[in-house]
Amino acid sequence: MTVSKTLVILYFKGECLPEEEALVECWLLEDEGNAQVAVGWIEELSDEEEKLIMSLSFKRNEIWKKTTAEIRSDRENGPIAADFGRNRLFKSPWYRMAAVLTGLLVTVFAYYFYSKHHRISIATSGNEVRTLFLPDRTRLILNRNSTLSYSRA
């Protein structure tokens, strides 16, 4: 950060942040010429410039105070959730309708997939022989240690 005329004037008015004060003090001690430049800047201020600098410094101080107060309240109360317009989107009737339709479509697809791809298995063990009738009325005889598997219709 460089030292500017405005920063030096704010320093002499006592309206700098601690970091800025340290920067100006280092700059002033760095060279004797810097101190003379700073005095020259202060002397050449007109009334209008002084009013402008004063108003800027008051605004800056107000912003700084508000920001630090918000940070302190966030530390005490916990962080505030960022709102990027999500609440407004979720309150939209079109969004709700789309969510309901999506849920219905997923349910119908899951039922269809389950009913079409669900397999039925029948097995015999040991000396068992079994006679079955399939959904299309086909008669089937399963011999010993046999397995039949078919898709549900």
Is the pTM higher than 0.75? The answer reads: no
Helix pair 18-30, 32-43: axis angle to 10 deg: 120
pLDDT of 61 reads 67
Query: Tens digit of pLDDT for each residue in 40-93?
Result: 877 777 666 666 666 666 676 677 778 888 887 777 776 555 555 556 666 778
Whether 99 is in a domain gets the answer no
Residue 55 domain boundaries: 5-77
Among residues 77, 103, 136, the one where a domain terminates is 77
pLDDT for the residue 105: 93
Q: 71-79: which pairs have CB atoms within 8 A and are 24 or more residues apart?
A: none
Q: How confident is the model at residue 104 (pLDDT cuts 50, 70, 90)?
A: very high
What is the pLDDT at residue 148?
Answer: 86
Residue 21 and residue 70 in one domain: yes
Residue 8, Cβ density class (10 Å: 0-12 exposed, 13-18 middle, ≥19 buried):
buried
Q: How many domains does the chain have?
A: 2
